[in-house]
Amino acid sequence: MFRCGIAWPRCRWIVPLLLLFAIIFDIIAIAAESGWVEDEDAKSHYANMWNQYRGRNDNWDSKSLMEFSWAQAVAALMIIGLIILIIAFIISCVALCCSLNLTLLPFIGILLIIVVIVQIIALIIYPVEFNNLIFEGNYYYTWAYGFGWGATILCIGCAILFCCLPRYEDELTGLAKVKYLYTSA
């Protein structure tokens, strides 16, 4: 028989797992040493969230970006977003994996919306201010910056799921009657 729809009891395990992936992506973006930005031509300049490096081969001159207020704001917003995301993950494990507590799900959704807002602000401030700081050449944003956006996109999807899941209490608990798209007579 054909089954129409989502296997809701699996959401109890998959959604916290998606939040765990978002945490991992955020940690990769924050801790990446290889850089968020690199120049396109000579590969002689790159920057991560904390420092910028100029030079060639093994002769790299490091300069901290933390002397700029915009870089401090980006670092603070990304770390605050990560902390709120970890809190949301812990609450989601308690609400979905240990016992089904549907009253916590909208709260988790609101926490994730806050994470999304904070991280979008940080991920927009960084390229705008970095481009204002550096005027020469063209720069590419690397995979580490992409992991920051990946974590934010996962948080958007999970926030929508956490806001919608309370409507499907019977489906989550497995008490709903299975609806088939096609039945044989």
Residue 37: name the closest of 26, 50, 56, 24 by CA. 50
CA distance 28 to 129: 22
- In order of 14, 109, 154, the CA distances from 147 in angstroms are 20, 21, 10
pLDDT above 90 (res 173)? no
pTM for the model = 0.82
pLDDT digits (tens, 9 = 90+) for 125-171: 988 888 787 767 677 788 888 999 999 999 999 999 888 776 666 56
pLDDT above 60 (res 4)? no
Residue 36: name the closest of 112, 116, 114, 122 by CA. 122
The least confident of 64-78, 91-105, 114-128 is 91-105
What ranges do the domains of the chain cover?
8-37+75-132+142-173
